[in-house]
């Protein structure tokens, strides 16, 4: 058998330099990055128009972030089971095995060179799928398993072709089996495809971004982490004609350049789980965090965009009966310079407050927002609802980070229980001392405004 295969194997080895040469042409695709940037594309990954930026992209294999060797045979076996499950989710294992038979038939009956080439496409990627591990099923792992599926499909086609060439009945049988396979795969994958294509969460983040009030004399840039949120917003902007007043950028953008041309930077609250304030300050220097003004209620209050701007920036304030103007010193180095209470829906109140750091604050104060039926309350029974936070600005901006004379915009959403008759919203700050006692500041009371 070895003697019979040796001439073909020798021919394949002689073609190896040409195969390697063709494979090196794949590196030319990296030229697409600087060309696209030089052509003035709206977005490019990295800064590839410079040699330093291009080399950083070219040399970054990401292997140190996604490749992790299994620590034991047990872990290797566990990964093998997960990869097998991924392949089985795409094609039934009977089909995958029939595809492997087709590859063997190609190597033995048509071209050993072609058969070995297909195996070299599938097997190394299959082995690599056991090494790419980020703690869960990632995009990288899904991409690595894809070649194995493509090669299995080619092998399946050749196996059915070989069988149908032997007899007329075999051709009809192969056609019927393929049709049945297509129907079965359609029925099996339909639910998952519809769940992805009809995912309503994308509309939620789009409406959140649309709710930001545009500033006529200032440009706004929203920095969103690369992934689901960024894709949803860019799709809405590019194909639906939405978000015309916001420049979108992912977290790979050069923030120092964005700061030059944009007066206001926006990001979603949840961005700070992955990119805390320290990450922003490494790139921008000292920043002030506040809450962006919105034209209408956001679908999810936890997705309300946060605003980062220079401490000297100021926001125009509307007129309202439930509005107080004039500094109220809380006695902790912080004063309330204004507060505005309005209805945001039938059973929801929205409180906008401007804090002012009169001096450097070293203590982290929590915020207390109480909806009360008596003012002042006579007991816990008078507190109808609370919107307390451990830190201002959605919990992301501790008071110990505030600079002297800094003004911070903050927003709280207060649900009103059914059948409740609130008379006021009380606003203050507090902290817990070393003995576990609550130390409260002065309270500001705002009357409940009349529904619009």
Cβ 107 vs Cβ 9: under 8 Å: no
pLDDT at 425 (0 to 100)? 93
- The hierarchical CATH code for the domain 314-452 is 2.60.40.10
| Nearest C-alpha neighbor of 156 from the set 119, 105, 111, 113 | 105
Helix (H, G, I), strand (E, B) or coil at 91: coil
Q: CATH 2.60.40.10 occupies which residues in the chain? A: 314-452
Q: If residue 355 lies in a helix (H) or strand (E), which one and from where to where?
A: strand 348-357
Task: Please state the φ and ψ torsions of residue 304, each to the nearest 5 degrees.
Answer: -60, 130
Cβ 273 vs Cβ 279: under 8 Å: no
pLDDT at 300 (0 to 100)? 25
pLDDT at 367 (0 to 100)? 95
CB neighbour list of residue 101: distance below 8 Å, 6 or more residues apart: 155, 159
- Number of helices and strands (H, E) in the chain? 15, 14
Q: Which residue in the block uniquely carries the two structure tokens 């919203």? A: 425
For residue 250, give Cα distances in angstroms to 34, 222, 268, 302, 328.
18, 8, 12, 20, 40
For residue 377, give Cα distances in angstroms to 29, 112, 336, 443, 445.
69, 87, 21, 12, 11
Tokens representing 416 are 């009103």
**Cα 367-372-375 angle, rounded to 5 deg:** 100
Cβ 355 vs Cβ 444: under 8 Å: no
Cβ 91 vs Cβ 102: under 8 Å: no
pLDDT at 102 (0 to 100)? 85
Cβ 341 vs Cβ 349: under 8 Å: yes
CA distance 155 to 106: 8
CA distance 308 to 47: 24
Task: Please state the φ and ψ torsions of residue 364, each to the nearest 5 degrees.
Answer: -85, 110
Give me Rg for the CA atoms of the chain.
Answer: 31
For residue 368, give Cα distances in angstroms to 75, 79, 97, 350, 356.
49, 48, 64, 14, 16
For the chain of 452 residues, list the mean pLDDT of each consecutive stretch of 10. Answer: 49 68 75 81 71 78 76 88 86 85 82 77 81 76 82 84 78 84 89 81 85 73 86 88 86 70 74 80 73 43 35 34 61 88 87 90 92 90 92 88 86 90 92 86 88 70
Tokens representing 312 are 């000297």
Task: Please state the φ and ψ torsions of residue 172, each to the nearest 5 degrees.
Answer: -65, -40
Q: Angle 201-210/228-239 helices, nearest 10 degrees?
A: 70
- Cis peptide leading into 376, omega within 30 of 0? yes
Q: Which residue in the block uniquely carries the two structure tokens 């038939």? A: 105
pLDDT at 292 (0 to 100)? 64
**Phi-psi label, residue 428: left if phi above 0, alpha if psi -120 to 50, beta otherwise:** beta
**What is the b/e burial string over 371-406, where b = at least 16 CB atoms within 10 angstroms of the residue's CB?**
bbeebebeeeebbbbebebebbbbebbbbebbeeeb
Cβ 331 vs Cβ 239: under 8 Å: no
Tokens representing 307 are 């605003």
CA distance 408 to 390: 16
């Amino acid at each position: 058998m070895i003697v019979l295969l040796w001439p073909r194997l020798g021919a394949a080895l002689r073609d190896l330099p040409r195969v390697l040469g063709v494979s090196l042409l794949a590196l030319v695709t990296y030229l697409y990055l600087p060309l696209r940037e030089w052509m003035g594309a709206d977005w490019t990954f990295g800064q590839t128009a410079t040699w330093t930026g291009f080399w950083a992209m070219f040399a970054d294999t990401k292997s140190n972030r996604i490749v992790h060797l299994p620590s034991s045979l047990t872990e290797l076996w566990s990964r093998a089971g997960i990869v097998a499950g991924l392949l089985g989710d795409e094609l039934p294992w009977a089909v995958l095995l029939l595809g492997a038979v087709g590859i063997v038939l190609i190597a033995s009956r048509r071209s050993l060179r072609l058969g070995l080439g297909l195996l070299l496409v599938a097997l190394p990627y299959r082995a690599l799928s056991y090494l790419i591990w980020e703690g869960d099923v990632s995009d990288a792992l899904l991409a690595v398993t894809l070649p194995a599926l493509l090669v299995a499909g080619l092998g399946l086609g050749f196996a059915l072709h070989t069988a149908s060439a032997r007899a007329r009945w075999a051709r009809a049988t192969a056609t019927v089996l393929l049709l049945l396979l297509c129907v079965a795969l359609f029925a099996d994958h339909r639910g998952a495809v519809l769940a992805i294509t009809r995912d309503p969460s994308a509309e939620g983040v789009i409406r959140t971004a649309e709710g930001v009030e545009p500033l006529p004399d200032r440009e706004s840039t929203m920095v969103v982490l690369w992934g689901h949120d960024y894709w949803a917003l860019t799709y809405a902007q590019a194909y639906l004609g939405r978000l015309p007043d916001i420049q979108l950028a992912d977290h790979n953008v050069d923030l120092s350049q964005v700061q030059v041309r944009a007066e206001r930077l926006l990001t979603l609250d949840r961005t700070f789980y992955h990119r805390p304030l320290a990450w922003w300050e490494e790139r921008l220097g000292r920043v002030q965090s506040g809450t962006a003004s919105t034209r209408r209620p956001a679908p999810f209050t936890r997705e309300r965009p946060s605003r980062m701007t220079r401490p000297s920036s100021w926001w125009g304030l509307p007129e309202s009966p439930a509005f107080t103007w004039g500094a109220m010193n809380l006695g902790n180095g912080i004063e309330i310079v204004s507060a505005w209470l309005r209805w945001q829906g039938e059973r929801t109140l929205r409180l906008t407050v401007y804090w002012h750091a009169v001096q450097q604050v070293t203590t982290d104060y929590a915020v207390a927002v109480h909806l009360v039926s008596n003012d002042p309350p006579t007991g816990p029974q008078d507190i109808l609802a609370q919107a307390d936070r451990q830190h201002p600005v959605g919990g992301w901006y501790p008071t110990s980070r505030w600079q002297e004379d800094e003004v911070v915009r903050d927003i709280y959403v207060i649900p009103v229980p059914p059948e409740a008759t609130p008379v006021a919203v009380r606003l203050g700050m507090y902290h817990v001392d070393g003995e576990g006692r609550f130390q409260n500041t002065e309270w500001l009371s705002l009357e409940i405004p009349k529904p619009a």
